Amino acid sequence: MKKSEMINQPISAVIAGMGHLDELVIADAGLPIPPGTTRIDLALTRNVPSFLQTLQVVLGELEVESAVVAQDMLDVSPDTFKAIQALMADIPIEFVSHETFKQQTRSAKAVIRTGEFTPYANIILRAGVLF
């Protein structure tokens, strides 16, 4: 059995297969997932599991070099953005329009769908390297 916190097999497999600059999306319940993109659906009910819970666990497994969020998050869900900043410390965060964000999800290795109902609670994580 795995010793680390992450016990979800599909997420573990995606992270283990990622290389430098590959992207992984953590999404709220409403983000459209492009056809052909791997969907890891964790959503059970409203806000279960939450976006922030999922992000925290993924950050424990994935070396993240940078991240992308929709600019709208700053105005519509500022508390979520502050929580992201707290979890991500010195990891640079890029801001793009929500439309650009949705387009960028097409190249992600996978999208993890949470039960989050907070608007714009979505993030693209770019893999870093440990050396």
How far apart, in whole angstroms, are the C-alpha atoms of residue 125 and residue 20? 11
| φ, ψ of residue 15 in degrees (nearest 5) | -60, -40
How far apart, in whole angstroms, are the C-alpha atoms of residue 67 and residue 108? 12
For 56, the 3-state DSSP assignment is: helix
Q: How far is CA 37 from CA 46, 76, 79, 85, 131, in A?
A: 23, 27, 29, 27, 29
Tokens linked to 43? 């959503």
Please identify every residue annotated as catalytic: 20
